[in-house]
Amino acid sequence: MKIHEYQAKEVLKTFGVPVPKGGLATTPEEAEQIAKDLGGTVVVKAQIHAGGRGKGGGVKVVKNPEEAKQAASDILGMDLITPQTGPGGQKVKFVWVEEGTDIDRELYLGIVLDRAQSRLVIMASQAGGMNIEEVAATTPEKILKEVIHPGVGLLPFQARRLAMDLGLEGDQIKQGVAFISALYKAYVATDCSLAEINPLVVSKQGDVLALDAKLNFDDNALYRHPDLLALRDTDEEDPLEVEASEFALNYIKLDGEVGCMVNGAGLAMATMDIIKHAGSSPANFLDVGGGTNVERVKNAFQILTSDKDVKAVLINIFGGIVRCDLVAEGVVAALKSMTIDVPLVIRLQGTNAEEGAKILENSGLEFTVARRLQEAAEGVVKAVKGAA
Ligand code: GDP
Ligand code: MN
């Protein structure tokens, strides 16, 4: 789960990460008032989940409350297009107005889980700011890393080494070490999957603080953090993924043309591979999980077919615990109560597979029944090509 910058800053502040003071505004007048209260130069920042807002015109440094009001009125309601949004951009509902910082240096600090090493890695770079992706691509040696042992956690010497890597000097080193330790503590305590401070700045006054903050949380750990779950902003998520999560279905949007209904993530992977192999690609996959009753299948169909990219649907279900004849009855009942206007291929395998196939074939409904996965994939790809 992603959250907004201002929310990330509020979370990080509770762990002792230094962030500028600020306030949230939904109208230009509120932005003006916050700027008045803060005094002096302020920064008006669009709050959307995507990064790269600076490049898209979503971050404005202004000198007084009147300019803050103007900047907020320019930014609020705009469809902000950044390298990380879709081509249509993302609508800005509120802006974060924070006190301006005199920047001396822009640095980068990030923490991610390195799955290959099964360890957290802290990354630091002196080349922080809006072009960090380019730095990573062209001069990766400018990004320094510390690998954290899960048994002992971040060790003081590692935090000091990172602070040195960042080119901090004198009292800044102490501030840097405290910053890195606080960010690490926040990452672990809130079950992050990513924490990124870009830029981490050294101000002209010599203070080290977070000008931007990005936190992503591990969805599987969110049940432990109701306070964080409350920060979710579903307006920033794919509407079909949100709908699926309401039905406890796992739905992932992809960019091909075959809608996939499967049970289990492994089968989803295999299904997508074989669709690719047969010459098309998945528009999405929807994992209906273990219990495949009529209601779930109906909800799944609804979500799959409201995805405009879907030109044909493949149902590929393995009956392990759940029996194929029951799945088939569920599918038939669901299809009798709704209309689907794209071709459908169904393949059920596992316990009572043959009984399942018979139920499907005798239903009188219009779809293709496949026994083998290869046959199912070829059938659905042929249907896609036929529709095109
Ligand atoms: P992003 O583009 O979505 O990553 O948004 P950021 O919050 O990182 O802001 C983009 C850029 O705006 C930063 O890299 C800074 O250069 C600049 N910026 C942000 N806050 C301030 C500030 O308080 N003072 C000044 N001078 N620049 C700022
Ligand atoms: Mn940034």
**Ligand 1 midpoint to CA 54 (Å):** 6
Q: Are residues 76 and 138 in the same domain?
A: no
> What confidence score (pLDDT) does residue 369 get?
94
Q: Which is catalytic among the residues 6, 108, 184, 187?
A: 108
Q: What is the pLDDT of residue 243?
A: 86
Q: 127 and 37, same structural domain?
A: no
Is residue 196 annotated as a catalytic residue, yes or no?
yes
- DSSP codes of every residue in 215-279: EEE-GGGGGG-HHHHTT--GGGS-HHHHHHHHTT-EEEE-SSSEEEEESSHHHHHHHHHHHHHTT
pLDDT of 264 reads: 87
Q: Does 274 lie in the same domain as 214?
A: no
User: Is residue 377 domain-shared with residue 252, that is, in the same domain?
Assistant: yes
Listed residues 100, 131, 147: the one ending a domain: 100
Verify whether ligand 1 is closer than 6 Å to residue 209 (CB atom).
Answer: no
Could you tell me the distance, in angstroms and rounded to a whole number, from the CA of residue 212 to the centre of ligand 1? 7
Shared-domain flag, residues 138 and 217: yes
Identify whether residues 154 and 6 lie together within a single domain.
Answer: yes
Residue that finishes a domain, picked among 100, 125, 145: 100
- Containing 350, the helix (H) or strand (E) segment is strand 344-350
Q: Ligand 1 pocket, 173 CB below 6 A?
A: no
CATH number at residue 68: 3.30.1490.20
Of 299, 303, 365, 382, which Cα lies nearest the Cα of 328? 365
Which atom belonging to ligand 1 lies closest to the Cα atom of 211? 20
CATH code, 254? 3.40.50.261
244 and 276 belong to one structural domain: yes
**132 C-alpha vs ligand 1 centroid, how far in Å?**
13
| Same-domain pairing of 135 and 244 | no
How many domains does the structure of the chain reveal? 3
pLDDT for the residue 86? 80
CATH of residue 193: 3.30.470.20
Question: Domain range spanning residue 153?
Answer: 1-20+102-236
What's the pLDDT score for residue 291? Answer: 66
Encode pLDDT of 144-164 as tens digits.
999 999 999 999 999 999 999
Q: Which atom of ligand 1 is nearest to the CA of 54?
A: 2
Give the ligand at the shortest distance from the Cα of 47: 1
This prediction's pTM: 0.82
Examine the residue annotation and report whether 108 is marked as an active-site residue of this protein.
Answer: yes
Question: Residue ranges of the chain with pLDDT lower than 70?
Answer: 290-292, 387-388
Ligand 2 centroid to Cα of residue 171, in Å, is 25
Residue of 121, 129, 265 whose CA lies nearest to 192: 121
Return the pLDDT at 387.
67
User: Catalytic: which of 30, 32, 67, 196?
Assistant: 196
pLDDT, tens digit, for every residue of 42-89?
Answer: 999 999 999 999 999 999 999 999 999 999 999 999 999 998 888 889
Determine the pLDDT at residue 226.
Answer: 97
